[in-house]
Structure 1
Amino acid sequence: MYPIARFVKEFTKFRNAPKLPFNGTHVSHHMCMPWDIDLWMELNNGRTLTLYDLGRMILAKRAGLLAAMKRNGWGMTMAGACVRYRRRIRVFEVIEMRSRAVCWDNRFIYIEQSMWKKDGECANHIVYRTAVTGKSGIVAPDTVVLDIMGQVPQVETPAWIAKWIEGEDMRPWPPMQD
């Protein structure tokens, strides 16, 4: 089940948080609860993605994206993700989550998120490719950024994200069927 209580808690907690620039970093803290764990008594990989939803939604609120979506009748969808798991998160362990928009191209906005343990180690890291959608399909990110910021700053795509985009463009779609 989607963690509705956590969703409400996060929106309540950050309801008066200062606005962030579109590429600002939202920092939040979350505890791994017993219902988040798998058979190995650690944070389940699927629940990790659900927790990342919480960070992205508050980031979108604080950066003005949710208001722009409401104003323009837009929606948002995920178009891809690349995740890396490196350290276990155990039950009742508190993590710090960092969420930020990194860059955009002509179709997608790339959002980076990470979870950090108390000892300063990064437990996992993900980059999402997200699209803002309207009645006619994908809304160009420049249009979204212009609506939110009143200008479209130049952003550079980090080399590692550019390589991921290149790899995704080479990936066959639809996938092969046996």
Structure 2
Amino acid sequence: MNLWLRLLVLTLTARRRPRVDLLGECVTRFRVAPGDLDALGHVNNGRYLTVLDLARTDLVLRSGTSPVLRREGWYPVVTAETIAFHRELRLGQPYTVTTRTLGWDERSVLLEQVFRRGHDGAGEVVAEAVVRALFLRRGGGRVPTEELLAATGHGGAAPRPLPSWVADWHEAQDGVRQRRRAERPAA
């Protein structure tokens, strides 16, 4: 319930909060709620991944990308993510998640998402994640990144080169995908 309420609040307040560029940074504010906690009294590891979903939704809403996705019948799907935890969050603590696009290739978009204590977006880093996503058509099939970027008013090369470790991770994910395909039984 807590997550549905957060999603509703994000959706209803998106127009009143500052617009962001799809390829820029989006800072989303949160506060640790009782439903976020595990038996040890800090935010559950799995909850971080769910909050990342909410922060990406905020980016889509505040960048004006949501109407494009609805019109085209496209939706995002996470295909891989990795997260590193540095510190804990406890009940009542305010925190932010800063989401920014790292880059893309012909099929995937790579995002960095950083949890920080406090509501100013400049606090102590709590956790860092890299997420790889692609967009699918409701009618079936994948949306090429070039088509997605053109529809949202962007295009061209990625804004910066991927950090080497992210490029290596991204390549490793492709290797996993190719291995899984090779292991599928012939139809």
TM over 0.5: yes
Shift of 1:18: 3.8
Q: Which runs of 5+ in 1 are unaligned?
A: none
- For residues 31 and 18 of structure 1, what CA distance do their matches in structure 2 show? 19
Counterpart for residue 165 of structure 1 = 170
Q: Is contact 2:107-2:143 (8 Å) kept? A: yes
**Matching of residue 140 in structure 1 with residue 144 in structure 2:** yes
**Matching of residue 153 in structure 1 with residue 160 in structure 2:** no
Counterpart for residue 41 of structure 1 = 41
Counterpart for residue 101 of structure 1 = 101
Q: Is contact 1:24-1:63 (8 Å) kept? A: no
- For residues 99 and 50 of structure 1, what CA distance do their matches in structure 2 show? 14
Q: Which runs of 5+ in 2 are unaligned?
A: none
- Secondary structure of 2:169's partner? helix
Q: Which amino acid aligns with 1:83?
A: I
Counting aligned pairs with the same residue, the percent is: 25
Shift of 1:157: 2.5
TM-score, normalised by the number of residues in structure 1 = 0.89
Shift of 1:174: 6.6
Shift of 1:142: 0.9
Q: Which has the higher helix share?
A: 2
TM-score, normalised by the number of residues in structure 2 = 0.85
- Secondary structure of 2:60's partner? helix
CA-based RMSD: 2.0
Q: How many residues in Structure 1 have an aligned counterpart in Structure 2?
A: 175
Q: Is contact 2:42-2:90 (8 Å) kept? A: yes
